[in-house]
Amino acid sequence: MSYFNHLVELLRQEREEDKQSWLRLTASSSAAERRANGLTWYPVAIRGTEMGRGDYLTVEVERTTHQDITHQLRFGVSAVLFSNHDAQQDRIEGTVTFQGGNRLKLTLRTDELPEWADNGKLGIDLMFDDNSYDEMQQAMKQATALTDKPEGHLVKILTGERKPTFDTETLPVTLPGLNTVQQEAVNKILSANELAIVHGPPGTGKTTTLVQAIKALIKKDQQKILVVAPSNTAVDLLSEKLADEGLNVLRVGNPARVSERLSSLTLDSKMSEHASMKEVKRLKKQASEYKNMAHKYKRNFGKAEREQRKALFDEAHKIMKEVDKTEQYITDDLIAKAQVITATLVGANHYTVRNIRYKTLVIDEAGQALEPACWIPIIKAQKVILAGDHCQLPPTIKSPDAARQGLSNTLLEKSVALHPDAVVLLEEQYRMNEMIMGYASAVFYDNKLKAHHTVAARRLFADDMPLAFVDTAGCGFDEKAEGTSTSNPEEASFLFRHLLQLVATLKAQQDNSPFPEIAIISPYKQQVYLLQEQLQHAAELRPHAASISINTIDSFQGQERDVVYISMTRSNADNNIGFLSDIRRMNVAMTRARKKLVVVGDSATLSQLPFYAGFIAYAEAQNAYQSAWEFMDL
C-alpha cells in the first residue's frame, strides 16, 4: 500500500539522519565530551546486581560526579557498560530497565559481570536507538498487512479510504464540572465506533476532558483502555489524574518524574506488593547462592570442579526458570486487573503488554507525535481517540528532507482534515486575559476561542495593560550569529530594563498580592543564555529569582505563567527571520501568559512575515504598541 511505503521511506531517511548526527556526537569523542552532550554517565559506581528476566544480570549503577548534567539515558534505551581501562574491548551491551535521579538499572545480555568490571573507571554510554525505529517500521508493516482484512477497518479510516461512523443510539451523558463543549467532546468519544478527535487549544481543559471521557468509556464498555502519549511527561500527567479519579492504572515504563504517587502505579511497584512476590524473592536468593558457589570455582580447576561448577549453574538456571514463570503469573494478574494501561507510543509494545488487544486507544499530545510511532499502539485497537493541538509544536524531526516530504505532517493533522465530523474543538479557555488570547484565536482557531468569564479580564493590577508589543526598530539592536544559534545582547539588556520597570510599578501598587510567576522566553538557545546571565546580574530581581524562569519556547509547551516576556531576537538589514517563520512555535509562546504578555522585537525585520505584521497591527488596534524609544531614558 503506497500510503505506508511512503511513510517507511520517510522513516528510513529520518533514521539515517538521526544515526549520522549521533555518530557525529560520538565518533572519536572522549567520555567527558559525550558526557557534556548528555550521552554518557561517567564515572559510575556499581551499587548492586540482581538476576533479571530470562537469566540476564541487572546491575544498578549510580553516577558519582557531574550529576547536574542533563542526559538522554531513559527507560528502554540500549546502553553499554564500559571500562576506561580499555573502552574498545571492555564493553558489554544492555537495556536501561530503570532510571531515576542519579541511579539507573542496566539489564546486561550475560549472566555474570565481566572480570574487567573491577578494573579502571566504569561508565555508561547511550547507544543509537535502533529499537524505536525497528518498532515503528514493524508497526507500519503490520498496518499494511491489516488493510485487506476485516480488522483493518480502522486502518482504512485513518488513511482516508473510509469515513468514521457514530452510534446514534448511545445515550449522551451529563458530567458535572465540564462545560458544554467539553461534554460534547465526551459524548463524541462515547458514540464513536472508530475515531474521535479532541482539538484542545491552549488552556481549554483538554486533559480534564480526556480523563472524564476515559472514565465514562470504562463505565460503558467495561474494558481496559490503552492511553499513550509521545513523551513520558505527558504520560505521567494522565496516569496521575486517572489514578486520582479512582481508576486502576498500570504505568508501563519508567516515569520521568520520580514521585511516590507515580512510582506506585508502575509494574515494578505493583509486583513488589503482590502476594506471590515472597516466593520469587526466596527463589532468587537461592539461585544467587548457587551462582556464588559456582563462582568459587572460577580459577585453577580441573574436570571435577568444572562439572561441579556446571551443575551449580544448571541448578541456578532451573530456579530462575521457576522465577520467570511466577513473575509472568504476577504480571498477567496485574494486567488483568488494570482498567487503564498507560505508556509512551513505543512503550505500548513493551514485552509485558505486547500481545494485548484493546477496544479503545487514546493518544494524547497527538500533535507532537510522529505518525509512524502512532501506528505501534493503533494496530492493537479497534477505536482510537486523538487528542492534541496541531496548531502548536509539531514533532521534532532530524531530517529536513523527510520533514518536507511529509513526516512533519502528523496523523492528528491529517485526520482533522479528512474527518471534520469526528472533531470537537474545545472553545472555552481558562488561562488568558481575552486580549492575550485574541490574536491566536483569530489566526489559528477561526476566532472561535472564548475566554471564560473568570479569566477574561484578569490582569496584574487594576489598570495594567495585559498586552504589549515593544518595537525595537531603529534602535540599532543588531542580532549576532553564534554557531547555529542567534543572539541579540542589546535586546536582552533592554528586556530586563522593561522588566525592572514593571517590577517597580508592581511594588508601588502596595496591594499585598504575591509576586507574579514570570517566564522569559526566546526561540534561540544563545539568547536564552544571555538572558540567564542578565538575570544573575540584576540585583533588584534577586529576591524574586525563584519566581522567574528563562528558557526556550519548546520547553514551555504545556506550561503557563502570570507574565510572559518573549525576546524575538532577530533584527537584521536582510529581513531574515529564520525559524521564527514557524508560526506554530509562536502560537505556543504567545499563549503561555495568564495576565500579561510582552513581546519585544524589531517590527522592520518581523513584519516581512504576514503573521507578525498582523500581530503588530493587532497590538496597535488594542493600543498595546510601544516603541522601545519610550524606555530609553530609564
Predicted TM-score (pTM) of the model is 0.91
Q: What is the DSSP string of 182-231?
A: HHHHHHHHHHBSSEEEEE--TTS-HHHHHHHHHHHHHHHH---EEEEESS
Angle at 206 between CA 203 and CA 212, to 5 degrees: 135
| Closest by CA position to 604, among listed 567, 566, 574, 565 | 574
Amino acid identity for residue 382 in this structure: Q
* Residue 29 included in any domain: no
Terminal CA-CA length for the chain: 65
Q: Please tell me whether residues 310 and 385 are part of one structural domain.
A: no
Query: Going by DSSP bridges, is the β-strand pair 358-363/381-388 parallel, antiparallel, or unpaired?
Result: parallel
* Residue 68 included in any domain: yes
Q: Please tell me whether residues 437 and 526 are part of one structural domain.
A: yes
CA torsion 393→425→371→241, rounded to 10°?
80
Q: Please tell me whether residues 76 and 171 are part of one structural domain.
A: no
74: which 3 cell numbers?
531513559
Q: Please tell me whether residues 486 and 377 are part of one structural domain.
A: no
* Residue 14 included in any domain: no
Of the three residues 84, 100, 128, the one that is the final residue of a domain is 128
| Closest by CA position to 211, among listed 360, 334, 364, 337 | 364
Residue position matching grid coordinates 495594567: 464
Residue 558: give its domain's CATH number. Answer: 3.40.50.300
pLDDT of residue 178: 96
Longest CA–CA span in the chain (Å) reads 93
- CA pair distance 204, 425, nearest whole angstrom: 9
Q: Please tell me whether residues 417 and 443 are part of one structural domain.
A: no
Residue position matching grid coordinates 488568558: 432
| Closest by CA position to 497, among listed 515, 481, 514, 477 | 477
| Closest by CA position to 382, among listed 108, 612, 192, 121 | 192
State the residue range of the domain holding 604: 432-631
166 DSSP β-pair partners: 192
Residue 114: give its domain's CATH number. Answer: 2.40.30.270
pLDDT of residue 101: 84
331: which 3 cell numbers?
504480571
Q: Please tell me whether residues 179 and 96 are part of one structural domain.
A: no
User: Considering Cα of 599, then 237, then 242, then 139, what sign does the dihedral take?
Assistant: positive
Residue position matching grid coordinates 486507544: 361
Q: How many CA atoms lie within 13 A of 9 on its CB side?
A: 10
Q: Please tell me whether residues 376 and 488 are part of one structural domain.
A: no
* Residue 518 included in any domain: yes
Q: Please tell me whether residues 366 and 471 are part of one structural domain.
A: no
Low-confidence ranges of the chain (pLDDT < 50): none
pLDDT of residue 110: 82
Q: Which residues of 139-171 are buried (b: 16+ CB within 10 A; e: fewer)?
A: bbebbbebeeeeebbbbebbbeeeebebeeeee
pLDDT in tens, 183-208: 999 999 999 999 999 999 999 999 99
Q: Please tell me whether residues 581 and 595 are part of one structural domain.
A: yes
327: which 3 cell numbers?
513473575
* Residue 32 included in any domain: no
| Number of domains, the chain | 4
CA torsion 466→472→473→476, rounded to 10°?
180
CB 52 within 8 A of CB 82: no
pLDDT of residue 54: 66
Q: Please tell me whether residues 170 and 158 are part of one structural domain.
A: yes
* Residue 7 included in any domain: no
- Provide the 8-state DSSP code for 404: I
Q: Please tell me whether residues 303 and 349 are part of one structural domain.
A: no
Q: What is the DSSP string of 261-272?
A: HHHTTBHHHHHH
CB 296 within 8 A of CB 308: no
| Closest by CA position to 98, among listed 80, 75, 78 | 75
Q: Please tell me whether residues 201 and 87 are part of one structural domain.
A: no
Backbone angles phi, psi at 439, to 5 degrees: -70, -45
CB 396 within 8 A of CB 169: no
| Cβ-proximal residues to 436 (8 Å cutoff; 6+ apart), any chain | 466, 467, 590, 591, 593, 594, 596, 597
- CA pair distance 204, 426, nearest whole angstrom: 6
| Closest by CA position to 316, among listed 293, 299, 339 | 293
| Closest by CA position to 373, among listed 347, 340, 399, 400 | 347
Q: Where are the alpha helices (DSSP H) in 231-276?
A: 232-244, 260-263, 267-272
Of the three residues 426, 454, 469, the one that is the final residue of a domain is 426
| Closest by CA position to 279, among listed 243, 236, 329, 313 | 329
* Residue 509 included in any domain: yes
* Residue 179 included in any domain: yes
pLDDT of residue 298: 60
pLDDT in tens, 446-492: 999 999 999 999 999 989 999 999 999 999 999 999 888 999 999 99
Of the three residues 426, 455, 485, the one that is the final residue of a domain is 426
